[in-house]
Amino acid sequence: MALLELKNIYKTYKQGEFDVHALQNISLSLDTGEFAALVGPSGSGKTTLLNIIGCLDSASSGSFHLNGNDLTQAKESDLSNYRLFQIGFVFQAYNLVPVLSALENVELIMVLQGRHHKERRERAEHYLKLVGLQDMMHRRPKALSGGQQQRVAVARALATNPRIVLADEPTANLDSENATALLDVMHELSHEEKTTFLFSTHDLRVMQRAERIITLSDGQIQKDETNPAAVA
């Protein structure tokens, strides 16, 4: 069974008097451990689709299953819990809580999950080491570079043991070196932890590393193909 399954998803917004069809008839499934990218021009519906998959938004019609659970009609409080226990997020910017250190940022979600102090401290330290920030755990975000902050976000997303990590333009604000390092880390962890990664991106560097590329245009899937270069 697929980890994630979307069937005939439509999303329509009201913009003034007009209806905007952000997504039309989207059907998609993702399996455990996939490293995939949603690509397409601005306004093609990437972020909207990512928001629906991330339980941040709901579809106007269609069905959505995550890990076997039908979330099509789920209440906000339930969606909030799915986000907490099953989904990890990495956003383009402003990923971290500024008043918390890197370690505390990673721990925060595990606090919400109700994990024991010792366990969450060990996991937070483990994942921060994996992303190469063992010496910067106690720094607050403003004392970290953009690339380091994104690595903390990746550690935070993975430390909760999610089924899927959604990353919206995670490399958009990073230089080449930092972007490559971040993608290396995510790719490695995806394979080690068997965690599904889904990116929304314009970034060629991400597309080159994604093993599956889903191309959106005008709210519809134009192409859904494996990336032989990345798979190899």
Q: Which residues bind other proteins (CB under 8 A)?
A: 51, 54, 56-57, 76-78, 80-85, 87, 89, 91, 94-95, 97-100, 108-109, 111-114, 156
DSSP per residue, the chain:
--SEEEEEEEEEEEETTEEEEEEEEEEEEE-TT-EEEEE-STTSSHHHHHHHHTTSS--SEEEEEETTEE-TT--HHHHHHHHHHHEEEE-SS--S-TTS-HHHHHHHHHHHTT--HHHHHHHHHHHHHHTT-TT-TT--GGGS-HHHHHHHHHHHHHHT--SEEEEESTTTTS-HHHHHHHHHHHHHHHHHHT-EEEEEE--HHHHHH-SEEEEEETTEEEEEEE-HHHH-
Nearest distance in Å: CB 47, other proteins = 9
Q: Between 108 and 221, whose beta carbon lies closer to other proteins?
A: 108
Closer CB to other proteins, 32 or 81, in the complex: 81
Shortest approach of other proteins to residue 93 CB, angstroms? 9
Instruction: Pick the closer one to other proteins by CB: 57 or 224.
Output: 57
Q: How far is the CB of 230 from other proteins (least distance, A)?
A: 27
- Least distance CB 158 / other proteins (angstroms): 13
Closest distance to other proteins from the beta carbon of 15 (Å): 13
Nearest residue (CB) to other proteins, 94 versus 119: 94
Closest CB to other proteins among residues 112, 204: 112
